[in-house]
Chain A
Amino acid sequence: MDTFLSVTLDLLQGFWMTFKVFGLTLVFALPLGLIMSFLSMSKVKIVSAAMKTFIWIIRGTPLMLQLIVVFYGPGLIFKIDSLDRFPSVIVAFVINYACYFSEIYRGGIESIPKGQYEAGQVLGMTKSQIFFKVILLQVIKRIIPPMSNEIITLVKDTSLARIIAVYEIIWNAQSYIKSAGLIWPLFYTGAFYLIFCGLLTVFFRAMEKKLDYFRS
């Protein structure tokens, strides 16, 4: 029982790191993705082409590779000080997820009929009033399903942080194989992921439900 308790505490500590990676990635990637989606829809061809190329590169290469590049790249290529391990993880995750989010936003924004914008225009609203008062909530309603998918994937992707030795939950669990010959702590991590993803699922269901009152 003692081991169970100490393993639990140890995993909780690892999960706190997992949660920090998850939370900070969302805090920065959700707004950054929105900005990137606007850039990728820009009427200035160079801007939208540059943004789309960047998104293509990030989505087309493994996150694991991006973690390694962000952590080792600056030191090895440019001979400048690398970021610490944890900030490197956050930078790589934020860039990667912002790209995925921006594509989801773009899909959502482009799916709103242009009549909604025109109705706002003929009623004398400004561009930002139209976006925030008319368009945004309709976009949110439409992107909840793909967003919840992506965010649940993020929960599990955080385990990649160990690639540059950031001690998240799986790292902690795995250390018991070497130190104590125990495999079950590794399986035990699954419970943490399942509970957390379960809570997220409930949250997104509730949000969908809350926006059920209108159809667009």
Chain B
Amino acid sequence: MSVLEVKNIQKSFGKTEVLKNISFSLEKGEVLSIIGSSGSGKTTLLRCLNFLEFAEGGTISVNGEKIYDGSEKRSMKENEIRMKRLHFGLVFQDFNLFPQYNVLKNVMLAPTLLKLGTEEEIEAGARALIARVGLSDKTESYPCELSGGQKQRVAIARALALNPDILCFDEPTSALDPELTGEVLKVIKSLKNGDSTMIVVTHEMGFAKEVSDKVIFMADGIIEEEGTPEDVFGNPKSAKMRAFLSKSFENI
């Protein structure tokens, strides 16, 4: 049974159709990379999965249970959405850490508010996650005292603290100086060895090639090409994909 099954997701903003019939599925522990040029709908797709946007059509199922159906979205209550969101985690391009809390408190805040354990359990869990992203010496630091790469690692720990079934990353290294992307990619890579199921929107082709089990190439709101990294990078069928690849490598 797939951890995630997305069927025929559709989303428009006004008259522009941003997602047209997106379908894919993901097995437990798999890493899916989504690539594609800017404006192709990658962010919107992740936002639909995390219910920051609501798809007008299509269904989302997690562990075999249908948690969202675009044709009946009006009936979803605030609290229901909130609970369903917890299947997913989202790491933002620009971190969105809470500036008034230190690293430890950033990671602990949501589990504490959701009463996921005693204070001590939550703190121990948070410290373990902070260690996992290599920031044990920064637990007392505030976000403004961290580098971009460190902030993003905290954001990853914060998302992991809720133990989501599927963790999504929206271009996690795009806001970073080039020399800082490595430390973040390394952390994401290390999660693969745990059994996190992940969706990573990225422009880092090398990373996508190396880490993913599956790659999706999006163009104008559709999945133009999908497959294993070997297939998609090594033997691209669509002309758009070939053009995109040659452009990405031109930039390097």
Contact = CB atoms under 8 A, between A and B. Distances in A.
Interface residues of B, number: 29
A123 B110 contact: yes
B89 interface: yes
A123 B51 CA distance: 11
B52 interface: yes
A141 B110 CA distance: 22
A129 B162 CA distance: 16
Contacts of B190: none
B82 interface: yes
Contact of A121 (B79, B85, B158, B162): B85
Interface stretch (A41-49, A64-72, A130-138): A130-138
Contacts of B89: 122
Interface in A25-58: none
B110 A124 contact: yes
B54 interface: no
A78 interface: no
A124 B83 contact: yes
A118 B98 CA distance: 11
Given A116-B96, A116-B98, A118-B52, A125 B144 contact: no
Contact of B82 (A115, A118, A124): A124
Given A122-B90, A124-B114, A126-B82, A134 B98 contact: yes
A115 B43 CA distance: 13
18 contacts: A115-B94, A116-B98, A121-B50, A121-B51, A121-B82, A123-B110, A123-B159, A124-B110, A124-B114, A124-B162, A125-B114, A126-B113, A129-B113, A133-B113, A214-B100, A214-B143, A216-B99, A216-B100
Interface of A: 113, 115-116, 118-127, 129, 133-134, 137-138, 141, 213-216
